[in-house]
Amino acid sequence: MVAFGYEFRKKYFPLIRKDVVPINHGSFGVTPSPIIERQKQLIDEEEKYSDEFYFITCHEEYIKQLKELGSYLGIDYRNLALVTNATTAVNAVLRSIPWDFSKDKILIHSATYQACENTVRFLSDYFKLQYDVVELPYPFEDDEVLNIFEEKLSTGEYKLCLFDMITSMPGITFPYLGLISLCHKYDVWSLVDGAHAVGQVDLSFLDKLKPDFMTSNLHKWLFVPKSCAMFYVNPKHHDLIQTFPISWSYGTRPIESPSTLEENEHNENLFVNKFSFVGTVTYSQMLSVSEALKFRSEICGGEENIRKYQYNLQRDAIAKIKNVFGPESELLQNSTNSLTPPGLFNMSLPLDEKYTPVLRLLQNDHRYFKLFRSKCDRKMIAESKVPCRFLVLNGKFWFRFSVNLYNEVDDYIIGAESVKSVMEHFLDTELQSIKLKG
Amino acid sequence: MVAFGYEFRKKYFPLIRKDVVPINHGSFGVTPSPIIERQKQLIDEEEKYSDEFYFITCHEEYIKQLKELGSYLGIDYRNLALVTNATTAVNAVLRSIPWDFSKDKILIHSATYQACENTVRFLSDYFKLQYDVVELPYPFEDDEVLNIFEEKLSTGEYKLCLFDMITSMPGITFPYLGLISLCHKYDVWSLVDGAHAVGQVDLSFLDKLKPDFMTSNLHKWLFVPKSCAMFYVNPKHHDLIQTFPISWSYGTRPIESPSTLEENEHNENLFVNKFSFVGTVTYSQMLSVSEALKFRSEICGGEENIRKYQYNLQRDAIAKIKNVFGPESELLQNSTNSLTPPGLFNMSLPLDEKYTPVLRLLQNDHRYFKLFRSKCDRKMIAESKVPCRFLVLNGKFWFRFSVNLYNEVDDYIIGAESVKSVMEHFLDTELQSIKLKG
């Protein structure tokens, strides 16, 4: 077995450019080359004889992927679908529900993924669906979050609550198990955005806790090609939830069949059948799930082995980043250490007091922050080749680092030095500009 | 230059299986190998340095594709977006409009593409949006269709009218120019489903006639990899129409910018910017548009040359199919010969009178027809390897044939013989079964 780290990168991620320090797996994911090869083979398959592929093979292969995924994750495949990405699944839910726009209300939180929050805003702007936003305190204790949510959910005002398993920015774990239970307790539908979940946390709770809806990208941490997500729907909603877009399968009922295949093959499962064909798209990513699972078990030695490497490297990386950022640098963590998943952690960059005026602007003026961030992003990405996402929280800069099997601790030393230098460069420029204006 | 036909297939479509008679391009399209190679290169590009690709390169490359496509089609690229497929664009329109569900009404016709009709049905089932269906008479004169639509549109009942440029089944041309004008006349929004249009008909009318919305798949007749469609939106709706799914760009206004890029680069165009990034998906198909246009102009000699080959081959194929189907076999055509686009035509298969009871059942019982069709489809696709779509219309079987640059007339002789034999086999079986039951 090839050791994780640079040897592993060389062998299985040969496409990653040599001049790049890849410490931002969380944003888009990177796919091992054997799985990319499988994806390309499948693209060829689609071309060889499209009628057979789309009318016959694809359905059979789709179900095979679902069964293997269900078995790998320890959940019933009949509650699963494969969709384009987590945002698509969230849209499928929020836009399949026949809302009563005159009274229905949604609850979300302040770190909701922007695309998902935008979907809620869209429903509000266009159709007057109401929503509230829970403000999250950082770094939060699990109980603190549960209490804040319970206070809202117990009012009986909400039909649905959208929350994360692991938020994107900052990259931290949410008390999702408790939140699912709270939703059940107060009869609120739970829509669980687990965009970063598969490949980082155990999902076998799904069939036990039975949230209403859950989705997780498979292209981020499970190594499926871009882009693919799993979409879990509680059996009681299989009839309600429709594909996104609506396609040929709309109106599929347990006793009916898609027009192009034998009827008796299609009564097995309503939800699986409804989502198995959503028109002409490439299914090459979805049908590579099996290859990704094989890679993770056979080449990587399974989930436990993967997480062990990530947690060990994370621990070492934190120490090294502190050396660079300075002794006052902190890990975003709570008293029970429940905030960091294996692949993501957030570190603060302590700043000289002279930058306080800039920091204040960044914290209070979202437009100013977005412009500042876009300048830093472009320099980090195009010049330094060290991509790293950041935000301002509690008056501090926080950088989100990703940990994967192709990383070694040197990535974080180089990475931390680079982001620190980019940040100080732009802070100096902004400070200068404020002084000139002031 | 390689001659069109089998030599062309061998050189540019080497993936098409040798045992298949590919006379059904219309369903999924087939992509020439140089364009598939470009797609695969782009998949690699996405992996090499995802942050640079998604935050910087992708936006620039997307605009480049739009500009080239606009220039190739003779239309302003600023009214165009690239989306997954035509159904997605139709969904984007129908589900971006803030309907007044208490009174708004849609008009569609009886040959509306199933996935699009389903989207309308979904809006009706879930939100009580009203719709009417115009019954089409076959084979229709253009004026006949315009009159039927005018009668409905002139009532003032409709907010939007969804119609095709070329219907899928049967594959015939609609009087879309007249219909767009009628919609303008009666102040009804036109949603033009041109799924089969690009690569078959001239689209330069778009900037002159300015329908409200139009979409066309690029993976069917333009040789872009699966799947990609262009989406035209009249400038007056650029603010209204949102991406599908809603993504990061929701709320993009002419004066605002996506968070991750320089502000001043993003004021050029609202619609282009809104659709340029819709989250983590592979953009490898969309960014292959340029390669497809190069293939069509440099390798195929341009649109006129392509259509000339298609029309000539269509003419020869019709004669040969008549030889096989029998002298009473007809082309689905009207008095002005306006029904057949270059790549699609429909021929009737005359049947012995003994099959009348089966035919009657097929025409009157949609469920029975679907079951019958699925049996025929499976035999045609999996056994005969001659895929061919069919329907029953005016008491006759009609088969839809596709014509493309990799076809020669022999395909249609073998094809017609094969579908005739499959059809007669299943008609005999059904007849037997009816007699036994009766």
Give chain A positions within 8 Å (CB) of B244: 91, 244-245
Contact A79, A232 (CB under 8 A): yes
Q: What is the pLDDT of residues A146-185, one digit of tens each?
A: 999 999 999 999 999 999 999 999 999 999 999 999 999 9
Task: Determine the Cα–Cα distance for residues B434 and B283; give it in Å rounded to an integer.
Answer: 52
Q: Which of the four pLDDT bands, split at 50, 70 and 90, describes residue A253?
A: low
Report pLDDT for B253. 64
Cα–Cα distance, B129 to A406 (Å, whole number): 52
Is A281's Cβ below 8 Å from some Cβ in B? yes
**Which residue from B235, B152, B145, B236 is spatially nearest to B188, judged by alpha carbons?**
B152
Q: Which are the contacts of A151, defined by CB distance < 8 A and separation ≥ 6? A: none
Cα–Cα nearest to A330, from A345, A352, A311: A345
| CB of B421 less than 8 A from some CB of A | no
Q: Do A51 and B28 touch (CB under 8 A)?
A: yes
Nearest-CB residue to B227 (from A85, A281, A387) = A281
Closest chain B residue by Cα to residue A246: B119
Give the pair of three-digit tokens for residue B142.
């253009």
Q: Which residue of A has its CA nearest to B259?
A: A370
Is the model's pLDDT at A140 over the cut of 50? yes
- The verdict on A48 touching B (C-beta cutoff 8 Å) is yes
- B88 contacts chain A (CB < 8 A): yes
Q: Is the CB of B260 less than 8 angstroms away from the CB of A374? A: yes
Q: What is the pLDDT of residues A301-348, one digit of tens each?
A: 999 999 999 999 999 999 999 999 999 999 999 999 999 999 999 999
- Closest listed residue to residue A221, CA positions, set A28, A80, A420: A28
Residues of chain A with Cβ-Cβ distance to B246 below 8 Å are 87, 91, 115, 118-119, 122
CA distances to A115, A254, A407 from A420, rounded to whole Å, are 29, 58, 20
| Size of the A and B interface in Cβ pairs below 8 Å | 225
Q: Over chain B (438 residues), what is each successive 10-residue block's mean pLDDT?
A: 94 98 98 98 98 96 98 97 98 97 97 98 97 96 98 98 98 98 98 98 97 98 98 95 96 52 51 93 97 98 98 98 98 98 98 95 94 96 97 95 98 98 96 87
- B49 in A contact zone (CB under 8 Å): yes
Kindly report the nearest CA distance between residue B156 and chain A, in angstroms.
24
Q: Is A18 on the interface with B (CB under 8 A)?
A: no
Q: What is the pTM of this model?
A: 0.96
Q: How many CB atoms lie within 10 A of CB A385?
A: 18
From A426's Cα to the closest Cα of chain B, the distance in A is 14
Beta-bridge mates of residue B147: none
Say yes or no: A434 contacts chain B, CB-CB below 8 A: no
Q: Where are the alpha helices (DSSP H) in A21-167?
A: 25-28, 33-48, 50-52, 58-73, 86-94, 114-127, 142-153
Residue A266 confidence (pLDDT) = 40
pLDDT of residue A87: 98
Cβ separation of A30 and B47 shorter than 8 Å? yes
Q: Residue B430 has which token pair?
A: 């059904």
Q: What is the pLDDT of residues A77-97, one digit of tens each?
A: 999 999 999 999 999 999 999
Interface residue A378 vs chain B (CB under 8 A): yes
pLDDT at B263: 40
Residues of B in contact with A279 (CB under 8 A): 85, 87, 115, 227
Report how far residue A121's alpha carbon sits from residue B96's, in angstroms, rounded to the nearest whole number.
Answer: 13
| ipTM of the modeled complex | 0.95
- Quote the pLDDT of residue A356: 94
pLDDT of residue A56 exceeding 90, the answer is: yes
340-359 in B: which are within 8 Å (CB) of A? none
pLDDT value of residue B279: 94
Q: Is the pLDDT of residue A240 over 60?
A: yes
Q: How far is A16 from chain B (nearest CA, A)?
A: 4
Q: Does A119 touch chain B (CB under 8 A)?
A: yes
Which residue has better confidence, A135 or A265? A135
Is residue A381 less than 8 Å (CB to CB) from chain B?
Answer: yes
User: Contact at 8 Å (CB) between A192 and A160?
Assistant: no
By Cβ distance, the residue of B219, B245, B259 closest to A280 is B219
- Asked if A49 lies within 8 A of B247 by C-beta distance, the reply is no
Hey, is the C-beta of B382 within 8 angstroms of any chain A C-beta?
Answer: yes
- Read off the pLDDT band of A250 (50, 70, 90): very high
- Is A226 in Cβ contact with B280 (below 8 Å)? yes
- Output the CA–CA distances (angstroms, integers) from residue A157 to A31, A134, A185, A237, A280, in the order listed: 43, 14, 14, 21, 41
Q: In A, which residues are within 8 Å of B40 by CB distance?
A: 40, 43
Does B85 sit within 8 Å of A250, measured CB to CB?
Answer: no
| CB-based contact, A127 to chain B, within 8 Å | yes
- Report the alpha-carbon distance of residue B438 to residue B433 in Å, rounded: 8
CB distance B434 to B358 below 8 Å: yes
Is there a contact between B51 and A263 if contact means CB atoms under 8 Å apart? no
Taking CA–CA distances from B128, the nearest residue in chain A reads A98
Name the nearest CA neighbour of A62 among A253, A216, A231.
Answer: A231
B259 touching A (Cβ < 8 Å): yes
Which segments of B145-212 are extended strands (E)?
A: 160-164, 189-193
- Our CA-based measurement puts residue A29 at a distance from the nearest CA of chain B, in whole angstroms, of 8
- Whole-number pLDDT of residue B251: 83
Closest CA to B349 of B359, B357, B339, B341: B359
Mutation choice for A interface testing from B33, B49, B117, B262 by most A CBs within 10 A: B49
Residue B281 with chain A: CB contacts under 8 Å: 84-85, 226-227
| Cα end-to-end span (Å), chain A | 61
Task: Tell which of A13, A38, A49, A88 to mutate to test the B interface (max B CBs under 10 Å).
Answer: A49
C-beta atoms of A47 and B217 within 8 A: no
B171, B196 contact by CB (below 8 A): yes
Strand, coil or helix: A104: coil
More confident site: B107 or A254: B107
At residue B268, the pLDDT reads 56
Does B85 lie at the interface with A, CB-CB under 8 angstroms? yes
Mean of the per-residue pLDDT values for chain A?
Answer: 95
